[in-house]
């Protein structure tokens, strides 16, 4: 592909396989996505990922991997990609209008370490677009994981593509 060629939004969506729900996103599933889907091309990253990223800059060590496309989103598209940086690995859920304009974007799971604390989150996306997120943290001097430090919350993808924090029943 020539550098001056502009890719359309369909090219971007093609690299995200539509998979059946429910699905759970863990640190290990990133390896599977990376092996099965491969990295996003630099052209797709520049055109569709970087404009929605919250990072000031992206260095040469940052990797983006397409994970999946959520099925049956008739009025919008919902994709999840994995962003890997040094000590910061995140699953990002992004929703788009049919024309490719961003509706919403949220980090839904991942692993982060600042050297003294390790924070890990796992997300399960159900068929009704409810996302259950469980997070736990461990400090560098801890000898074992303390389950009392775990937190959980729910997100929901609305029919409009907006991603909200939802209340539990």
Q: Are the C-beta atoms of 84 and 168 separated by less than 8 Å?
A: no
Is 109 strand, coil or helix?
strand
Mean pLDDT for back-to-back runs of 10 residues, the chain (169 residues): 67 94 94 87 90 76 92 95 90 96 96 87 96 89 72 95 81
Measured between alpha carbons, how far is 58 from 114 in angstroms, rounded to an integer? 18
Helix (H) / strand (E) containing 84: strand 77-85
Q: Where are the domains of the chain?
A: 9-166
Q: Are the C-beta atoms of 119 and 109 separated by less than 8 Å?
A: no
Residue 86 has what pLDDT?
A: 83
DSSP state of 143: S
């Amino acid at each position: 592909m020539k550098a001056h060629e502009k890719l359309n939004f369909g090219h971007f969506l093609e690299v995200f396989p539509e998979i059946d729900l429910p699905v759970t996103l863990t640190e290990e599933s990133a390896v599977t996505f990376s092996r099965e889907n491969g990295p996003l091309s630099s052209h797709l990253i520049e055109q569709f990922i970087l404009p929605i990223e919250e990072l000031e800059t992206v260095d040469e060590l940052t990797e983006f991997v397409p994970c999946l496309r959520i099925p049956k989103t008739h009025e919008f598209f919902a994709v999840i990609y994995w962003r890997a940086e040094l000590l910061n690995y995140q699953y990002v859920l992004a929703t788009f209008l049919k024309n490719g304009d961003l509706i919403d974007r949220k980090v839904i799971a991942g692993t982060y370490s600042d050297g003294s604390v390790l924070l890990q989150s796992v997300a399960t996306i159900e068929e009704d677009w409810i996302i259950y997120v469980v997070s736990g943290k461990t400090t560098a001097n801890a000898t074992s994981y303390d389950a009392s430090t775990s937190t959980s919350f729910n997100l929901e993808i609305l029919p409009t593509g907006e991603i909200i924090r939802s209340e539990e029943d």
